[in-house]
Amino acid sequence: MYKKPSKTKQPESETHAYEYCMFLLNIRLRSEGELRYGMTQRGYVETVIEKVINRLFELKYIDDNRFLEILVDNYKKYKNYGYMMIKKKLIEKRLSRETIESGMTENFTPEDELAVAKRFIKKEKLTTTTQEDKQKLVRKLQARGFRMDAIMKVVSVPLE
């Protein structure tokens, strides 16, 4: 069960806010938006949040472009997600739309999506012998966030 973070007793303490961010970053890598949201939920003052975020940028503890690159690479290698699902996951990580759009075009090409779709089909041991099998496969791929052009290429081409 998820517990809502408690309000801080020191909302104007820059040191306390910095230590909270370091605690969060020690758990896992986070985006600027996630840190801002976490500090806002804890009740820190906006000026303190700005100072801490700027300090973290100067120390290179947060870098949204690098964060996106790592996440997309992990999703590509270890998850069977299509373009739309990865984009949704990145939005959930509170990355800006511009960062997501530029990062996705660089890090997740249509060829990558096709390779992930083929890997998913092999893993699930899906066949495309009958029309009904093809429709089932299309639905499964759509549910995983694959775009229609990748789906049509995978469904029409016989698997290796």
SS3 for the chain, per residue? CCCCCCCCCCCCCHHHHHHHHHHHHHHCCCCHHHHHHHHHHHCCCHHHHHHHHHHHHHCCCCCHHHHHHHHHHHHHHHCCCCHHHHHHHHHHCCCCHHHHHHHHHHHCCHHHHHHHHHHHHHHHCCCCCCHHHHHHHHHHHHHCCCCHHHHHHHHHCCCC
Confidence of residue 158 (pLDDT cuts 50, 70, 90): low
The answer to whether the predicted template modeling score (pTM) of the entire model surpasses 0.85 is yes
Over 50: is that where the pLDDT of 160 sits?
Answer: no
pLDDT digits (tens, 9 = 90+) for 48-71: 999 999 999 999 999 999 999 999
Q: Give the pLDDT mean for 79-106.
A: 95
Confidence of residue 131 (pLDDT cuts 50, 70, 90): confident
Domain coordinates in residue numbering, the chain: 14-58, 63-160
